[in-house]
Amino acid sequence: MGTDAKILNEWIRVLPQFHDPMNDYRPAVLWLDTDSGTFGDARSLVLIDTTEWSAEDNDAWECMTDSERNGYGVDYVETRGTSVGPLEYQRETGSDY
């Protein structure tokens, strides 16, 4: 599964940008949450493989602020899925709960 997430994140990173100056910004590819109907620009999407996370990592993820999760996602993409788990990430960034 981890390899699949890495491959999909690489695909997401190279999605085309689209801008129609007459009609404001419209993304070329959308993501859609079929549970809630929430959607957005797919270029901002990150798929995170959680199969190696501990219970403590899951707890840390749940307690993170939105900005901490955003930072973790950016780090996750930059390290191509080899970043530390959420608990260690919070310790390293000084944001542990």
pLDDT in tens, 14-26: 777 766 666 666 7
pLDDT in tens, 38-86: 988 888 889 899 999 999 999 999 999 999 999 999 999 888 877 789 9
Q: Which of 5-9, 19-23, 30-34, 77-81 has the lowest mean pLDDT?
A: 19-23
pLDDT at residue 1 tops 50: no
Quick one: pLDDT at residue 80?
Answer: 83
Residues β-bridged to residue 25: 19
Q: DSSP per residue over 26-88, as a string?
A: --SSEEE-TTT--EEEGGG------TT--HHHHHHHHHS-HHHHHHHHHHHHHTTT-PPPHHH
Q: How far is it, in rounded angstroms, from Cα 35 to Cα 92?
A: 34
Q: How far is it, in rounded angstroms, from Cα 48 to Cα 67?
A: 16
pLDDT at residue 95 tops 80: no
